[in-house]
């Protein structure tokens, strides 16, 4: 399907984000911000605890100097209508 956009560009950007702790990072999940956290909040308590523990264990490799530092990559599309 042709949307009629001209001069379409896709740009890859990399950003770094850091948190004071895993708990600070997890606060946004517990707040239900976004579709994945909404799904997480629908899980039974025991399943949510298991998810939190597994994510925490996997993010250990991103801890440095007591902080959690993670890079994220995104694709940004733009065009002229």
Domain residue extents for the chain: 6-80
Residue 1: what pLDDT?
52
Residue 76: is its pLDDT beyond 70?
yes
Supply the pLDDT for residue 20. Answer: 95
pTM of the model: 0.70
- Provide the 8-state DSSP code for 31: T
**Rounded (10°) CA dihedral 19, 21, 22, 27:** -70
The Cα 5–Cα 70 span in angstroms is: 34
For the stretch 19-51, pLDDT in tens is: 999 999 999 899 998 899 999 999 999 999 999
Instruction: Give the tokens for residue 59.
Output: 């993010």
Per-residue pLDDT tens over the stretch 1-23: 577 888 999 999 999 999 999 99
Residue 54 has pLDDT above 90, yes or no: yes
42 neighbors 36 (Cβ within 8 angstroms): no
Q: Specify the pLDDT at position 46.
A: 97
């Amino acid at each position: 399907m042709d949307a009629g956009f001209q001069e379409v560009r896709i740009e890859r950007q990399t950003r770094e984000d850091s948190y004071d702790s895993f708990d600070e990072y997890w606060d946004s999940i517990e707040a239900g911000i976004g579709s994945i956290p909404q799904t997480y909040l629908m899980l039974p308590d025991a399943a949510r605890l298991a998810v939190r523990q597994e994510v925490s264990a996997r993010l250990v490799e991103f801890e440095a100097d007591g902080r959690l530092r993670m890079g994220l990559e995104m694709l940004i599309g733009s065009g002229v209508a």
